[in-house]
Chain A
């Protein structure tokens, strides 16, 4: 039997969505306050029952009650409906607000489900619209209702009631099998994960300084002392163990992120669904794609495995968590992913390169940085600071690799930028998607008749640094011509 959900009348969020939101806000509160809670619990006065009962009451009863009550009021007072081609969200108990999102302004609709939301059959639906505000509007709905609302908003239907029969069927394009997922996981950038884990560990160690009495820097010097006192074999074993741990962690993270990955396409756009436990869904309408980029990290470039990013309007201001990359595990996926935008430019296309003066400029900047480090190390008598002077040769090596690999392929309707350093990175921009052009010249560039051109689109920008002024002028004029004559 066909089910109909009428969006033209105001609806509240379902009760089970409120329950999961309360559980989540309680969880996030614990996440924020846990160092303070541990400090209170380990406080000897609290343990012996002397005083500080107010603090215990404050942290374990009053603050959670206050936060949960606020969330409950805010949740209960949110209503949504569709009125004359606009999504209307009325919300706020303490401060009342009405958000009106015209259909044509909504660029993308995201659907998210973590494990708790999946268990309770609810989903978080979030809308992107261009503008100066960075606020992301979101509603929690039953999963089926969320799907229908998304299809209604992106499909731009004229009537406000959607049945299951009206939802357009999509064609599968990419789905990852076990071997794809394994290769994707094993080729993740584990060094990056190692650095993130180290930063996280340092932050937590600082949080617990009141208990341990040691800051993260104290722990670093303790590690240094331990390393000096032990044999090279022991230190190597620890380093290998850390690397293996970071590889395993990055593998698990990738599997969690791309498990059940599926990309389907309909006449309106791509539908991306990803996530093993926490599921995220995104609908990318073809006409909203501003530019496309793809990259392969220093391991994946040899397989080759690429991650595709569709940059839609407002992409520059949404957080990374909403950006879903599409893993192109086979080169045969490229034409399908690019067909709605512009084909990849052939290798024989006309090319632009950066001027070698870029290298000289980087050398000059590295000298300034080295001088600053040297002066700081001398003033503060910080001996290890001198070791940082190795930055200059490393900096120059990076700059050389970037200069050597950078190229811009140019065609009548698009340009493709290769900005590879260690990971292979490409951006494909259609001229008619350009919303503004900026040409910059420093004193150094003016002397050599060079310039940096930045092409802005609604989904972000691309830069062409250190090209000749003549080429910069031609790029600017052609981009404006294509943009101004596009409809």
Chain B
């Protein structure tokens, strides 16, 4: 036992390890793939423009090496995105929401509802096509402390937002 607490023992505190994780929607994978494609098309276009217009880049070895480097990087980026989506999940408990993400570095974020300032649901162009959306819980702790759950069905995201907002109004939010 790490610390003592006269009011309640640690064994009585609900553990976040035993939550039932809900996987995010499979549509998020498609969204990530399209975002990846768009990003790398821009990178490739910029690279081609540089090769065509900058005289110093006429050297075949340099162009080949950088192109191979970019190809490897894009491949790694794709793989990391797909592995990351596979790990993404969320869990809603009575008093807080948990969200796990990442691949090489795995992160679990937990935000108590009584510390949420406000909530928002956002949908991007690709999100709309694949029926997914994101729910963001804003706290007084700033961007790093906010929890953004990606890959929710629009209805689920809206229902969750409304439920959290009504909970904030009922129980009060503070810092």
Interface residues of A (CB under 8 A from B): 130-132, 290, 313-314, 316-317, 350, 352, 410-412, 433-443, 446, 456-458, 460-461, 471, 473-478, 480-481, 483-484, 486-487
A residues within 8 A CB of B106? 440-441, 446
Take A457-B141, A478-B10 as given contacts and tell me if A433 and B175 are in contact as well, using a CB distance cutoff of 8 Å. yes
Q: Which residue of A lies closest to B100 (CB)?
A: A439
Is B42 part of the contact surface with A, judged by Cβ < 8 Å? no
Whether B13 lies near A478 (C-beta < 8 A) is yes
Whether B3 lies near A290 (C-beta < 8 A) is no
Whether A350 lies near B2 (C-beta < 8 A) is yes
Is B64 part of the contact surface with A, judged by Cβ < 8 Å? no
B residues within 8 A CB of A476? 16, 108, 110
Whether B16 lies near A480 (C-beta < 8 A) is yes
Whether B10 lies near A412 (C-beta < 8 A) is no
A residues within 8 A CB of B142? 316-317, 456
Take A130-B117, A484-B96 as given contacts and tell me if A439 and B107 are in contact as well, using a CB distance cutoff of 8 Å. yes
Please tell me which one of the listed residues B17, B108, B139 contacts residue A435 in the complex, with CB atoms under 8 A apart: B139
Is B145 part of the contact surface with A, judged by Cβ < 8 Å? yes
A residues within 8 A CB of B104? 442-443
Per DSSP, are chain B's interface residues mostly helix, strand or loop, or mixed?
Answer: loop
| Bitwise interface map of B from 15 to 31 toward A, beta carbon under 8 Å scored 1, else 0 | 11100000000000000
Give min CB distance, B109 to chain A, whole Å.
5
Give min CB distance, B10 to chain A, whole Å.
6
Whether B112 lies near A435 (C-beta < 8 A) is yes
Interface size on B, residues (CB 8 A): 42
Whether A352 lies near B15 (C-beta < 8 A) is no
Whether B141 lies near A436 (C-beta < 8 A) is yes
Whether B147 lies near A436 (C-beta < 8 A) is yes
Q: Which residue of A lies closest to B138 (CB)?
A: A132
Is B5 part of the contact surface with A, judged by Cβ < 8 Å? yes
Whether A471 lies near B144 (C-beta < 8 A) is no
B residues within 8 A CB of A442? 104-105
Is B8 part of the contact surface with A, judged by Cβ < 8 Å? yes
Whether A461 lies near B109 (C-beta < 8 A) is no
A residues within 8 A CB of B146? 436
Take A480-B16, A481-B13 as given contacts and tell me if A438 and B2 are in contact as well, using a CB distance cutoff of 8 Å. no
Whether B110 lies near A130 (C-beta < 8 A) is no
Take A350-B2, A473-B16 as given contacts and tell me if A437 and B110 are in contact as well, using a CB distance cutoff of 8 Å. yes
A residues within 8 A CB of B72? none
B residues within 8 A CB of A478? 3, 5, 10, 13
Report how far A460 CA is from B139 CA in the complex, Å: 12
Whether B175 lies near A438 (C-beta < 8 A) is no
Q: Which residue of B lies closest to A468 (CB)?
A: B2
Take A435-B115, A436-B147, A483-B115 as given contacts and tell me if A461 and B105 are in contact as well, using a CB distance cutoff of 8 Å. no
Whether A435 lies near B3 (C-beta < 8 A) is no
Is B140 part of the contact surface with A, judged by Cβ < 8 Å? yes
Is B95 part of the contact surface with A, judged by Cβ < 8 Å? yes
Take A436-B111, A441-B106, A483-B112 as given contacts and tell me if A456 and B139 are in contact as well, using a CB distance cutoff of 8 Å. yes
Whether A412 lies near B105 (C-beta < 8 A) is no
Report how far A435 CA is from B114 CA in the complex, Å: 8
Please give me the 8 A-B residue pairs with the lowest Cβ-Cβ distance, nearest first. A458-B140, A456-B145, A456-B141, A458-B175, A435-B115, A410-B3, A436-B145, A484-B95
Whether B175 lies near A130 (C-beta < 8 A) is yes
Report how far A477 CA is from B144 CA in the complex, Å: 20
B residues within 8 A CB of A481? 8, 13-14
B residues within 8 A CB of A438? 107-110, 144-145
Is B61 part of the contact surface with A, judged by Cβ < 8 Å? no
Indicate the member of B107, B117, B145 with the most A CB atoms within 10 Å: B145
B residues within 8 A CB of A487? 172, 174
For the complex with contacts A440-B105, A484-B112, 17 further pairs of A-B residues with Cβ separation under 8 Å are A131-B117, A410-B2, A412-B3, A435-B141, A436-B112, A440-B106, A440-B107, A441-B107, A456-B145, A458-B139, A458-B140, A477-B10, A477-B14, A477-B16, A480-B95, A483-B112, A484-B113
Take A461-B141, A477-B16 as given contacts and tell me if A435 and B2 are in contact as well, using a CB distance cutoff of 8 Å. no
A residues within 8 A CB of B95? 480, 484
B residues within 8 A CB of A458? 139-141, 175
A residues within 8 A CB of B115? 434-436, 483
A residues within 8 A CB of B107? 438-441
Report how far A436 CA is from B108 CA in the complex, Å: 11
Please tell me which one of the listed residues B17, B108, B114 contacts residue A484 in the complex, with CB atoms under 8 A apart: B114
Whether B15 lies near A435 (C-beta < 8 A) is no
Q: List 10 A-B contacts (CB under 8 A).
A: A290-B175, A436-B115, A436-B139, A438-B109, A442-B105, A478-B5, A480-B96, A484-B95, A484-B112, A487-B174
Whether B140 lies near A350 (C-beta < 8 A) is no
Give min CB distance, A104 to chain B, whole Å.
10
Report how far A412 CA is from B142 CA in the complex, Å: 26
